Amino acid sequence: MFLGCNTSTTGLEKAQVRGNITLDGQPLSNVSVRFFSSEGGGGGFPLSEDGSFQSTQPIKIGVYSIALVSLSTPPGAAPPSSGLLGKVPPHFWSVRSSELQVEVTGDGDNTFQFDLSSKERPPTGFRPPSTKPSGAGPVLPEPPTSS
């Protein structure tokens, strides 16, 4: 058994992950990094002020798509639009379009460094998700007017 690895009660091998995320050389914070596997498992890990993250529990060995999740906006709302987070290209906020992938192994140091650039262009065919402004509720029909 390797340091940082274990086998769960289901028999699946798992490992701790850690790393750092920067944008144009500056550490990101007030955001979580999301590890997503189409085979299940993964997790989200908040970044500290220095841009580092560490899993609180081991995740399954395998390949993961990576995306950012804002801690300052509610789910379904548009990503942040100001400050350093506002400079993050929109495709990094979705596991479907970020194109960031890592492989978590049982026999290695699962430390990942993501050096993002605000100048990076989204992949071909990328369309930002349609979102409603934060706090917006359903659109109600206008009441009938009497003539």
Q: How is the chain split into domains, by residue range?
A: 5-116
> Does residue 21 carry a pLDDT above 60?
yes
Residue 124: per-residue pLDDT? 85
Band (pLDDT 50/70/90 cuts) for residue 43 is very high
pTM: 0.78
Ramachandran assignment for 51, one of left (phi > 0), alpha (psi -120 to 50 degrees), beta (any other): left
Residue 137: per-residue pLDDT? 41
- Separation of alpha carbons 3 and 107, rounded Å: 9
Planar angle of CA 28, 30, 31, nearest 5 degrees? 75
> Hey, what CATH class is 5-116 in?
mainly beta
For residues 79 and 93, the model is more confident at 93
> Does residue 145 carry a pLDDT above 80?
no
